[in-house]
Structure 1
């Protein structure tokens, strides 16, 4: 696979991962108001191990891919990922899916300076402009939430902001790991540590799951497992700063899930935000950044 083809494949994988992770978030939100956060983390992580292991078997990498010379990197990445997961699930408990998703889109904005300093990535003015436009769209989308806070909305917003800050570090950390660790191994250890940490919360009170609740959690686990693999594969093929704006497309899916599953319709201000975010992603799609000239370095 040529460098340019590999780079384009990274963008396509990021778009697919964004859809999968947004669908996973919708499944979690369907039960987030009822199921405790720790129980959500356990089932989301434990069931994700199934598609991850199947993927490694399909690639003839099981269990060899799990071998690592950097266990501390996996532990650090996994704990950060679990904390981010807990914050995002908290945001989903109190906010519509689109609003929680939009708060998460602050992470790509925060990734840019981190990618420039830590990974030495070169950022073009066009990428800066596209991400700024996307950030403006997020502000429009959240306008109603900040103007008319509902019960618990402030908790959801605060959790979403913490999630965004954490994910900025997680993505840069993951990028450094893909140079020596396989995508499947990164996803596997995150799911494994999440299962252990999540199960430890059983002493704080879990609830009995109905058939429908378990179905939503199972769906979240499978989608999350596949989504993590695809996202890590995308990160291994293209610079973090170039992939970041494509995360904005997940907001389109989030609005659709809100409408279909939860009967939530955004106002005109929110729609302006959607168009701004979509346009930002299109700008990056057709831009010719320096990363395209040398996409294999990743740094």
Structure 2
């Protein structure tokens, strides 16, 4: 059976680019302040993402056609999963140090590998299953110190809740990744990105009655910038699924670790803890092993002249 994907290397390149831009988005959200309501953050991220998306589509002459969809229910499912995951993740981002928030988010590609095997029928061999389990051990090491803070009060409890929300966001994010992979089989990248931002904007606007904050100029500008970054990153991320399997590109989420740690230290003064460094090293090692196995398998297939199973 011949692979239906374009170029795995191109998919990886799109993935890495999306990670970098998403990291810029996270930085702007952190700069906006920790007291902002997650629903308000989610709305700004989704609504202002529409501007670069529509400008890009208009430039390519695809804006009108992008509104056509043959699978509105699929977009609704993707939007629902994505907006809940986004809101939970932003709560954690606002209440956790940036390195911990990034590291806990690494559970998403591990979950995606598992879900890709069960729901997409992608071949995941024993080596990758082992790597996923080892990676989850690393996630547990990162999260455990935060979860023990439930015994405390105040800021400590906020960080504990933040850790839980990021982990829940990772599970839902993995499910959203699978839904995107299904959508790209019949929908254009531009349509997927456009409908997600529209759906997310409408859903998050529903949180307005629960108390949004009247923000000063700089927090507003930070959230607007986060939205623009989110739009660009979403285009790159969705395009990556068109060129490679989820289980192939998911481990490249770990490319954010070095840049994220530098930004966290320089901008916020966050210093990674020992448990965070240990857990992250385990998770990244698991991801690197998955990448290594994929490379070896591709070499073996080319050498034997066989196509992907």
Select which of 274, 277, 289 maps to 1:268: 274
TM-score normalised by structure 1 residue count: 0.88
Distance 1:14 1:121, change over 3 A: same
Alignment partners' CA distance in 1, 2:79 and 2:20: 22
- Report matched runs for 1:38-53 at 5 Å: 38-53=39-54
1:258 is matched with 264
2:125 is matched with 124
SS of the residue corresponding to residue 110 of structure 2 reads helix
Alignment partners' CA distance in 1, 2:32 and 2:170: 22
1:203 is matched with 209
2:239 is matched with 233
2:179 is matched with 173
Q: CA deviation at 1:215?
A: 1.7
Alignment partners' CA distance in 1, 2:13 and 2:7: 10
Describe the superposition over 1:201-253 as per-residue Cα deviations: whole angstroms up to 9, x where unpaired. Answer: 32222222222101211121011111111111111111111122111222333
Describe the superposition over 1:229-286 as per-residue Cα deviations: whole angstroms up to 9, x where unpaired. Answer: 1111111111111122111222333322221221010133333334334433433444
1:98 is matched with 99
2:59 is matched with 58
Q: CA deviation at 1:69?
A: 1.1
TM-score normalised by structure 2 residue count: 0.86
Unaligned runs of 5+ in 2: 151-155
2:168 is matched with 162
Alignment partners' CA distance in 2, 1:289 and 1:242: 12
Alignment partners' CA distance in 1, 2:143 and 2:195: 34
Distance 1:298 1:180, change over 3 A: farther
| Larger displacement relative to structure 2 (101-110 or 228-237) | 101-110
Alignment partners' CA distance in 2, 1:298 and 1:220: 39
Q: CA deviation at 1:18?
A: 1.4
Describe the superposition over 1:106-155 as per-residue Cα deviations: whole angstroms up to 9, x where unpaired. Answer: 22222223211211100134433443443343334335434556231221
Q: CA deviation at 1:65?
A: 2.0
Asked if residue 114 in structure 1 is aligned to residue 120 in structure 2, the reply is no
Asked if residue 193 in structure 1 is aligned to residue 193 in structure 2, the reply is no
Alignment partners' CA distance in 2, 1:241 and 1:93: 29
Describe the superposition over 1:28-84 as per-residue Cα deviations: whole angstroms up to 9, x where unpaired. Answer: 122251221221111111110011112212332112122111111111211211111
